[in-house]
Structure 1
Amino acid sequence: MTKYEWKKQDKALYIPGQKPVLIDVPEMQYFTIQGKGDPNGEVFKVHVEALYAMSYAIRMMPKQGVTPEGYFEYTVFPLEGHWDLDEEGRKLDYLDKKHLVYTLMIRQPSFITEELFGWALEQVQRKKKQINVEAVRFEKITEGPCVQAMHIGSYDNEPETFALMEQYCAEQQLRRAEKTHKEIYLSDARKTVPEKLKTVLRFRVERDI
């Protein structure tokens, strides 16, 4: 069987152009973890490590002698983040990152079950005791109709792309369904200069009628 690579098979979801588009995002499975505060802090880093540890535990199952029904070769999906502000942060007329509330997630292949999630938890807890995965959850999430676009550049410049997405909504008789938004990280911020970072920006929309 050909290796499943999200950059090829799911280009519409993960590799949009810089021009905003409307897309219907179906139900998918994720490992998730919730957090709060500045993403430049240590807590955020710990959460990311936990998600990747769990995701690679699943990816490498056959090397541990476990090949579940329906297993197929695939590339681990990118890190995603669903972003909001706490109540105090919404009252401010500027962004204070300490008030950010987020759910980080990494999509999982269709063969994942609650039992395999439990197996991965046990594996990471036993083999990588320095990584705390107790807060990781297994969820099915449906985003539905969304507008998305590729943002190239610093995370701090994302408002420029969001403005284009809002303009697209106005032209297409759409409106944002909520203030929150999704980010999908296609670049490793540790190894990529800010002006070359690639991030998919996405928010849910409704028909404006």
Structure 2
Amino acid sequence: MEKANWRQTEKEIYPLKKAPSITTLPSQSFITISGQGNPNGPEFAQKITALYPIAYKIRMAPKKGIEFSGAFDYTVYPLEGFWSLASGHRDGPLDKDYLQYKIMIKQPSFVDESVFNRAVELAHDKVAPELLAQVKFETFDEGDVAMIMHIGSFDDEPASFAKLETFIDASGYQRTLKEHKEIYISDFRRVPEAKRKTILRVSVEKK
């Protein structure tokens, strides 16, 4: 069977073109971990390292002789993150120390709570216990969303959000939440700022 690749099979969920779009997302399940603080700090980087070992334990299980019901070969999904600001810090200049986040990696359809729990067991020697205890398996129904591809530094995202807001309004929609999601098509730990590709996603509804 050919490997399932989200870049080819889930183009509406992960649009890789520059043009903004609106779509309705299906229910999706993720490995997640939450936190607060400046994403340029060490805590955020540590939390990212807690997700990947579990995701790859699921992906590589068949090669280790571990069979999960319904499992198939696939490309690991990109890192994603919900971003908001702590209460009392949502107005005025952005203070990154008060950013709240839930970072996550989507899982294919065969992954359920039991598969996740087995992967956590398998990853115990790769992830610090205090971090492993924070990782969860969660399902989200994001509903209607608008998205745009941002290329460049995270600090330059306001310009892309402005373009997205114009598109949302012209399409007869409006945002329902101030919070937003980022999907890191590029690995920001390795790709230069100017070339980073990030999908910006917001929840919307018809006016």
What TM-score range do you get, normalising by the shorter chain?
Answer: over 0.9
Structure 2 letter corresponding to 1:140: T
Summarize deviations over 1:16-72 as a string: whole Å, max 9, x none. 322211111110110011110000111111110111111011111112211111110
Which of structure 1's runs of 4+ aligned residues deviate more than 6 A?
none
With normalisation by structure 1, the TM-score equals 0.95
> Which position in structure 2 is the counterpart of 1:42?
42
Measured in 2, the distance between the counterparts of 1:22 and 1:113 equals: 28
When residues 87 and 129 of structure 1 are mapped into structure 2, their CA distance, relative to the original with a 3 A threshold, is closer
SS in structure 1 at match of 2:44: helix
Residue identity over aligned pairs, in percent, reads: 42
Q: How many residues align?
A: 206
Alignment of 1:118-137 (within 5 A): 118-125=117-124, 127-130=125-128, 132-137=131-136
Indicate yes or no: 2:170 matched with 1:185.
no
Alignment partners' CA distance in 2, 1:113 and 1:146: 25
* CA positional deviation for 1:191: 2.0
In the aligned structure 2, how far is the partner of 1:16 from the partner of 1:188?
15
**3-state SS of paired residue (1:119):** helix
Partner-residue secondary structure (3-state), 1:11: coil
Long gaps (5+) in structure 2: none
Q: Does 1:140 align with 2:136?
A: no
Q: Hey, what does 1:100 align to over in structure 2? A: 99
Q: Distance in 1 between matches of 2:128 and 2:136?
A: 18
Q: Partners in 2 of 1:95 and 1:147 — Cα distance?
A: 23
2:114 alignment counterpart: 115
| Residue identity opposite 1:122 in structure 2 | E
Instruction: Tell me whether 1:163 sits opposite 2:162 in the alignment.
Output: yes
**Hey, what's the Cα distance between the residues in 2 that align with 1:56 and 1:129?**
12
Q: Which one-letter code corresponds to 1:84 in the other structure?
A: S
List aligned pairs for 1:26-65, cutoff 5 A: 26-65=26-65
TM-score, normalising length from structure 2?
Answer: 0.96
Contact between 2:120 and 2:132, CA under 8 Å: does it hold in 1? yes
Q: Could you tell me whether the CA contact under 8 Å between 1:153 and 1:198 is conserved in 2?
A: yes
Residue 102 of structure 2 aligns to a residue whose secondary structure is strand
Answer yes or no: is 1:8 the counterpart of 2:8.
yes
Shift of 1:129: 5.0
Query: Alignment partner of 1:47: what SS?
Result: helix
Deviation at 1:134, TM superposition (A): 1.0
Assess if the C-alpha contact under 8 Å between 1:81 and 1:182 holds in 2. yes
Q: Which amino acid aligns with 2:126?
A: K
User: What residue identity is the alignment partner of 2:33?
Assistant: I
Distance 2:184 2:47 in 1: 15
> What CA deviation, in whole Å up to 9, does each residue of 1:99-130 have, x standing for no partner?
100100100011112111111111111x2254
CA RMSD of aligned residues (A): 1.2
Q: Is the 8 A contact 1:84 1:100 kept in 2?
A: yes
